[in-house]
């Protein structure tokens, strides 16, 4: 899922010594503080935006790392002529009630770049947008993949407003100075895997909604079965007292293939049966009763 979000250039000036070291780690020729101009950006946050979406709070640290070294361009035109800046530092800032990614970028002073720097200082080039790729978009109401359930962004369900939560950062492309990001559509362009449609959209397009709903139900059952299988494995491991904490066990089984989980469960069940064999408490009583009364049987 490719995502572009509007952000804002915050402030700028001469780099500190530490910032200059980070900049020179990206540059081929060593630069001096007089040769570069730095400014900060407030990138992706975890608040619901005008599109009814928000970035998952847990995804921000990974996304911040992906933005390191990424270029700054103009109007999202991916060409070397439009490259004007580069991000050299990112961090996740936590404030009361929300978190966001703060980034620092630098521009080489001189030539046409002086106009860009002047526009930033004057507050003209203030708004920018970012482009990144997120692996998943889930519904805030039910936790399913957004678009596969009946919930709609912006609608209320039991007092909650539905939104799509963007998870699993895959890549960060760039940030771009844009002309009119204040418009609702500006700076926000999304496509599933390069304009590919999701299954629900394809089902509607080709009139196979019934088949899609049947497959969706089967998929839900499959997810439920896998969850039960994971719970069984964690229970068996804890029963055998392997010395591994439950959170670690759940992390391991979550990434394992279903076939491997089945094999592991079978093996662990065998171990538990050996260590804790099932005994019948009533068996001896029945045997004794049969021996006592056998003389009266005809």
| pLDDT above 60 for 221 | yes
Contact between 39 and 142 under an 8 Å Cβ cutoff? The reply is: no
Task: Tell me the mean pLDDT in the region 160-169.
Answer: 93
What residues pair up with 160 in beta bridges, in sequence order? 157
| pLDDT above 80 for 30 | yes
What is the percent of the chain with per-residue pLDDT over 90, rounded to a whole number? 23
Closest-CA residue to 173 (of 87, 81, 46, 61)? 87
pLDDT tens sequence across 52-67? 889 999 999 999 999 9
The reported pLDDT for the residue numbered 178 is: 67
The reported pLDDT for the residue numbered 193 is: 39
Q: Rounded CA gap, 212 and 218, in Å? A: 10
Give 143 or 295, the one with higher predicted confidence. 143
The reported pLDDT for the residue numbered 200 is: 65
The reported pLDDT for the residue numbered 34 is: 92
| pLDDT above 80 for 183 | no
Contact between 166 and 137 under an 8 Å Cβ cutoff? The reply is: yes
| pLDDT above 60 for 194 | no
Other Cβ atoms within 10 Å of 99 Cβ, number:
17
pLDDT tens sequence across 82-108? 788 899 999 999 988 889 888 899 999
| pLDDT above 80 for 136 | yes
| pLDDT above 60 for 295 | no
pLDDT category at 252 given cuts 50, 70, 90 is confident
Task: Tell me the mean pLDDT in the region 7-15.
Answer: 62
Give 45 or 288, the one with higher predicted confidence. 45
DSSP for the chain reads: -EEEEEEEEEEEEPPPHHHHHHHHTT-SS---GGGEEEEEEEEEESS--TTSEEE-GGGHHHHHHHHTT-EEEETT--SGGG--EEEEEEEEEEETTEEEEEEEEEEE-STTHHHHHHHHHHTSS-EEEEEEEEEEEEETTT-SBTTSSS--TT-EETTEE--EEEEEEEEEEEEEE-S-TTSSSTT---BBTTTBPPHHHHHHHHT-HHHHHHHHHHHHHHHHHHHHHHHHHHHHHHHTT-S--HHHHHHHHHHS-HHHHHHHHHHHHHHHHHHS----TTHHHHHHHHHHHGGG--
Closest-CA residue to 5 (of 152, 99, 157, 128)? 128
Closest-CA residue to 64 (of 82, 37, 46)? 46
Q: 43: which 2 tokens? A: 């990138």
| pLDDT above 50 for 191 | no
Whose structure tokens read 């359930």? Answer: 149
pTM, rounded to two decimals: 0.56
The reported pLDDT for the residue numbered 196 is: 46
Task: Tell me the mean pLDDT in the region 247-265.
Answer: 86
């Amino acid at each position: 899922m490719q995502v572009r979000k509007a952000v804002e250039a915050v402030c700028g000036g001469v780099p500190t010594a530490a910032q200059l070291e980070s900049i020179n780690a990206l540059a081929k020729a060593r630069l001096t503080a007089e040769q570069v101009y730095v400014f900060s950006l407030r990138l992706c946050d975890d608040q619901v935006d005008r599109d009814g979406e928000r970035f998952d709070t847990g995804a921000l640290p990974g996304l911040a790392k992906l933005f390191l070294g990424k270029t700054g361009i103009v109007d999202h035109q991916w060409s070397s002529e439009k490259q004007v800046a580069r991000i050299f530092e990112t961090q996740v800032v936590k404030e009361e009630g929300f978190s966001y990614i703060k980034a620092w970028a630098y521009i080489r002073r001189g030539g046409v770049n002086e106009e860009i720097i002047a526009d930033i200082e004057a507050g003209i080039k203030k708004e920018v947008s970012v482009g990144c790729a997120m692996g998943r978009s889930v519904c805030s109401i039910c936790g399913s993949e957004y678009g596969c359930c009946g919930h709609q962004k912006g609608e209320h369900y039991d007092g909650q407003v539905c939104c799509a939560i963007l998870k699993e950062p895959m890549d960060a492309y760039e940030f771009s100075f844009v002309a009119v990001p204040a418009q609702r559509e500006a700076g926000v362009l999304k496509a599933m895997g390069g304009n590919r449609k999701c299954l629900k959209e394809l089902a509607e397009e080709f009139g196979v909604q019934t088949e899609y709903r049947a497959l969706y139900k089967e998929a839900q059952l499959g997810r439920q079965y896998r969850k039960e299988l994971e719970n069984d494995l964690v229970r068996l491991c804890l029963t055998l007292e392997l010395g591994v904490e439950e959170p670690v066990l759940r992390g391991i089984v979550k990434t394992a293939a279903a076939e491997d989980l089945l094999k592991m469960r079978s093996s662990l069940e065998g171990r538990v049966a050996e260590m804790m064999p099932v005994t019948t408490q009533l068996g001896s009583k029945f045997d004794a009763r049969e021996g006592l009364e056998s003389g009266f049987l005809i």
